[in-house]
Structure 1
Amino acid sequence: MTSKIRLEDRECPLSTTLGIVGEWWTVLILHDCFDGYRRFDEFQANIGLSSSMLTSRLKSLVERGILERRPYQERPVRYEYVLTELGRSLRPVLVALAAWRNAQLAPDERAMVLVDTRTGREAEPVVVDSVSGEPVDGPHFAFAAGPAAGSVMRERYAGVR
């Protein structure tokens, strides 16, 4: 079956981002990378993903410039997977996803929390506008058509300035 992708979805940064990192296993691999895992066997032991599926996901992350494949052993040649700058820029996204879920739970129900390692205090992350410092979840922040938007996107966001 051929899937039809709407023009609007091809332009939408949410759709394209989910196309890159929105798959369950990919997010878990990235989470492991942020926790310091680098080697195939570490990912496999921690996530429990089949070799072929893990190989496919790592290959995709390398092709998209999120991970870099580096040899760490010559005989036999073995590789580690290291976050690139682009990959490291995904950390706030994963932090925000975890914070969103934790906000729905009572403090004693949270299995993993973000802490300030200097104080041990649990952090409460928010996404803010870098200019005003205001949280972007307020009513005066809205998506609008950008300079590269096509007609469908412009029509969807007509009237948003």
Structure 2
Amino acid sequence: MSTRVTVNGEAREVEASEDTPLLTVLRDELGLVGSRFGCGQGLCGACFVLLDGVAVPSCQTPLSQVAVSDGVVTVEGLSEGGTPHPVQAALLEGQAAQCGFCISGIVVRAAALLATTPSPTGEQVAEALERNLCRCGVQRRIIDAVVAAGSTP
């Protein structure tokens, strides 16, 4: 079945059933591999994308939900004209990423936070990223980087 979706500002036609998880469509049909498969239950945050500006687990979001939305933004779609999103830049500057497995979901979730709370506190960042599982132990650096991104004019 052909479904029209908007991903990173571009309208695309994909061949998949309505109940196919968005993560599968992004990775296998569209070649956007920034979102990762982690737990498959929407709990770890590795697969988060923005759907109508809200961070959602793409492993649990069916294609049918995306087809009626204004669009999806993946970690690849956050940068503008080759300029990293402020969260991406702050994470690099603060050397806050280790293995990289969870970081795309964290970037997406942090970008959603900054869209609603432009200058969050460390506590607000920690609360927003609560569902994102990072096993490398760099949570403090991630929180500091997101706070710094919010402080960037």
- Name the TM tier (shorter chain): under 0.3
Structure that is richer in strand per residue:
2
Structure that is richer in helix per residue:
1
Larger Rg: 1
TM-score relative to the length of structure 1: 0.23
TM-score relative to the length of structure 2: 0.24
